[in-house]
């Protein structure tokens, strides 16, 4: 059938199974928006900033496993998407971004709102393409979806000129099928045999579980490997949820702000089995001193990641689930009791960082908020979307994730402003689940305009602002490494309760730990989006911390207490989380503006 290029665009999205797109109209994409009126099956979410559109598409993709779609116009509309595209690229999130472009005859003339967006985004996309003819739109879009979701997922951008949207062409869905590619080679039998020999003979092995576990759907296979061979599991930030937090095999998170005993176990291991992770700097610390006595097996779908940062002894290229399915029948049943005893001894020695047993002295700590939020959401299907900073690390430490895709966060790029829009996308992907935004007061102010999107859509998300009146993680580095010269890190903000109410939403403020659980319950019971301003301790610190350039086990830890306080049962702290800690030392803080309490 003959359709305009704009109609072909929506026809392709519909046939790719797209039901929701996030976007912002403008002149160069206007023909596509006009044609959208003929496709009521596709719900368009009007964002307040194009960066928000890409984060929403990203959150949609991470929560559902499907491809997220964002739409924008040319020039500033397209360049506003770059941060979100880069975020998706670093974290292997499958999104397709569609941008309008000036007419093909005006290309290269510096026409109004013209930008070479394919050139701009070349380093941060898995693939991008400029389409100048309507007959090429279908093939470009089908190729985009195929590339975005295949192999290691990632973002793809399709830039369509205005005249290509306006002109007509024959639409043939089948003829536009993506070009066939040779299948990915499976690891050689010799490499599999070498990996099995290392696994079965190791005395102190550790599994490093990354986001690839979730993306491959290999959760069951990883658990079978760990349980059969008696191997402890350490998870990356993006791998959280791929292994249940309650599993005895799960040691916890590794890396810069990971558990101390996890990092120590990695450093003492004689074998690391890296599954769908890329050995980034926040995981390894100083590469020269990283796991010096360990052989290394790397199971990875992207060949470019193998031997990029850490030289490995065996590389198994391919889909993680398929590789493990091949390995598991030949893995020996082993208990490895001595190794576990050593790890448990390290766990006891490292427990001083926890603050769950601090007395409730009226000072609200972010870790208390996160832990109590976890307790209050037990028994509910919950997705937590975090921003970037101290609150992100506290969430990883104190909120216990049992299921895949229950934590969505910006790992590789560390994008402040990610959380709120990504949570909106996650809620559209999983409307039946509770969605919580955990965000600092700094990052929230970058994209808080998307509260208007939530209000316009009548969407229910719950926003927990961990408000310490600082750019907290930067302030922490200034405290440790710059003699507490807090240059440009104290930050003021609006009255977040009044801000929420200005959008027609519910706002609450919490300053005492006793109020956390009841106000979380109130937020969950409210019909629409709720913003909760948690006024937490200002100069609190994330422990442990591996300084830049240090070995993985050279951690800054919370000072040991002089005496261990008794458990505070009324605070609802779990015995397994009640670990000794030192009381916070009072420090001179900059003046803080407190909004008046609402009557």
- The whole-number pLDDT of residue 575 equals 35
Closest CA to 307 of 279, 268, 283: 279
With bands split at pLDDT 50, 70 and 90, how would you rate the model's confidence at 359?
A: low
Our answer to whether residue 50 is catalytic in this structure is yes
With bands split at pLDDT 50, 70 and 90, how would you rate the model's confidence at 363?
A: confident
Our answer to whether residue 399 is catalytic in this structure is no
With bands split at pLDDT 50, 70 and 90, how would you rate the model's confidence at 596?
A: very low
- Say if CB 239 and CB 210 are below 8 A apart: yes
pLDDT tens column, 418-455? 999 999 999 999 999 999 999 999 999 999 999 999 99
pLDDT score of 568 more than 80:
no
Average pLDDT score, the chain: 92
| Catalytic, out of 50, 114, 300, 450 | 50
| Catalytic, out of 7, 101, 143, 162 | 162
Instruction: Provide mean pLDDT across the span 260-288.
Output: 96
User: Both tokens of residue 144?
Assistant: 């985009």
Our answer to whether residue 473 is catalytic in this structure is yes
| Catalytic, out of 254, 346, 416, 473 | 473
pLDDT score of 570 more than 60:
no
With bands split at pLDDT 50, 70 and 90, how would you rate the model's confidence at 500?
A: very high
Distance between CA 176 and CA 140 in Å, rounded? 8
User: Both tokens of residue 527?
Assistant: 């019909």
pLDDT tens column, 245-256? 999 999 999 999
pLDDT tens column, 114-154? 999 999 999 999 999 999 999 999 999 999 999 999 999 99
- The whole-number pLDDT of residue 79 equals 98
pTM strictly above 0.85: yes
- The whole-number pLDDT of residue 347 equals 85
Our answer to whether residue 579 is catalytic in this structure is no
CA torsion, points 557, 561, 567, 573, in degrees to nearest 10?
Answer: -20
pLDDT tens column, 189-232? 999 999 999 999 999 999 999 999 999 999 999 999 999 999 99
Q: Residue 484 — left, alpha, or beta (φ > 0 → left; ψ -120 to 50 → alpha)?
A: left
Burial (CB < 10 A; 0-12, 13-18, 19+), residue 547, is: middle
pLDDT score of 16 more than 70:
yes
Our answer to whether residue 539 is catalytic in this structure is no
pLDDT score of 564 more than 60:
no
- The whole-number pLDDT of residue 349 equals 54
Distance between CA 444 and CA 461 in Å, rounded? 14
- The whole-number pLDDT of residue 186 equals 87
With bands split at pLDDT 50, 70 and 90, how would you rate the model's confidence at 360?
A: low
At what angle are helices 390-398 and 366-376 packed, to 10 degrees? 40
Instruction: Provide mean pLDDT across the span 525-544.
Output: 96
Instruction: Provide mean pLDDT across the span 148-172.
Output: 98
């Amino acid at each position: 059938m003959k359709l305009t290029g704009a109609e072909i665009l929506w026809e392709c999205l519909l046939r790719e199974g797209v039901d929701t797109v996030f976007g912002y109209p403008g002149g160069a994409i206007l023909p596509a928006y006009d044609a959208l009126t003929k496709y009521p099956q596709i719900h368009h979410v009007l964002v307040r900033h194009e960066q928000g559109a890409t984060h929403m598409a990203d959150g949609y993709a991470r929560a559902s496993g499907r491809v997220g779609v964002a739409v924008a116009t040319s020039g500033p509309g397209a360049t506003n998407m770059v941060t979100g595209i880069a975020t998706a690229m670093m974290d292997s999130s499958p999104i397709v971004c569609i941008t309008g472009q000036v007419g093909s005859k005006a290309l290269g003339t510096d026409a109004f709102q013209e930008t070479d967006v394919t050139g701009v985004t070349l380093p941060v996309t898995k693939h991008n393409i400029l389409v100048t003819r309507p007959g090429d739109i279908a093939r470009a879009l089908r190729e985009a979806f195929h590339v975005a979701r295949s192999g290691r997922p990632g973002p793809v951008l399709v830039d369509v000129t205005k005249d290509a949207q306006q002109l007509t062409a024959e639409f043939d869905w089948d003829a536009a099928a993506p070009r066939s590619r040779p299948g990915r080679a499976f690891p050689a039998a010799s490499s599999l045999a070498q990996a099995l020999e290392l696994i079965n003979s190791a005395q102190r092995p550790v599994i490093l579980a990354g986001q690839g576990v979730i993306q491959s759907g290999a959760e069951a296979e990883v658990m079978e490997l760990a349980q059969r061979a008696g191997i402890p599991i350490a998870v990356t930030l993006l791998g959280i949820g791929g292994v249940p937090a309650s599993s005895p095999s799960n040691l916890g998170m590794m890396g810069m702000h990971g558990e101390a005993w996890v990092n120590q176990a990695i450093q003492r291991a004689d074998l690391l089995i890296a599954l769908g992770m890329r050995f980034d700097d926040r995981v390894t610390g100083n590469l020269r001193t990283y796991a010096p006595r360990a052989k290394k097996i790397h199971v990875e779908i992207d060949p470019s990641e193998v031997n990029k940062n850490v030289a490995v002894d065996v590389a198994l290229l391919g889909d993680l689930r398929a590789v493990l399915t091949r390995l598991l029948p030949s893995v020996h049943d082993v208990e490895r009791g001595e190794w576990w005893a050593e790890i448990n001894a390290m766990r006891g020695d490292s427990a001083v960082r926890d603050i769950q047993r601090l007395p409730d002295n009226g000072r609200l700590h972010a870790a208390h908020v996160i832990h109590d939020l976890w307790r209050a959401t037990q028994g509910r299907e919950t997705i937590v979307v975090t921003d970037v900073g101290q609150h992100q690390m506290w969430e990883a430490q104190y909120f216990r994730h049992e299921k895949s895709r229950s934590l969505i966060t910006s790992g590789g790029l560390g994008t402040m402003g990610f959380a709120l829009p990504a949570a909106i996308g996650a809620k559209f992907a999983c409307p039946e689940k509770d969605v919580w935004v955990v965000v600092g007061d700094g990052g929230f102010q970058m994209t808080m305009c998307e509260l208007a999107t939530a209000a316009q859509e009548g969407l229910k998300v719950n926003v927990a602002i961990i408000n310490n009146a600082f750019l907290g993680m930067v302030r922490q580095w200034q405290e440790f490494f710059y003699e507490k010269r807090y240059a440009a890190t104290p930050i003021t903000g609006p009255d977040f309760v009044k801000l929420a109410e200005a959008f027609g939403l519910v706002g609450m403020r919490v300053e005492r730990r006793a109020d956390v659980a009841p106000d979380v319950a109130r937020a969950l019971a409210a019909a629409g989006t709720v913003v909760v301003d948690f006024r937490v301790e200002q100069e609190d610190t994330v422990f442990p911390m591996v300084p830049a350039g240090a070995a993985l086990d050279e951690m800054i830890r919370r000072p040991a207490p002089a005496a261990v306080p008794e458990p505070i049962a009324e605070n609802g702290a779990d015995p397994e989380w009640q670990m000794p800690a030192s009381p916070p030392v009072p420090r001179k803080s900059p003046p803080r503006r407190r909004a008046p309490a609402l009557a």
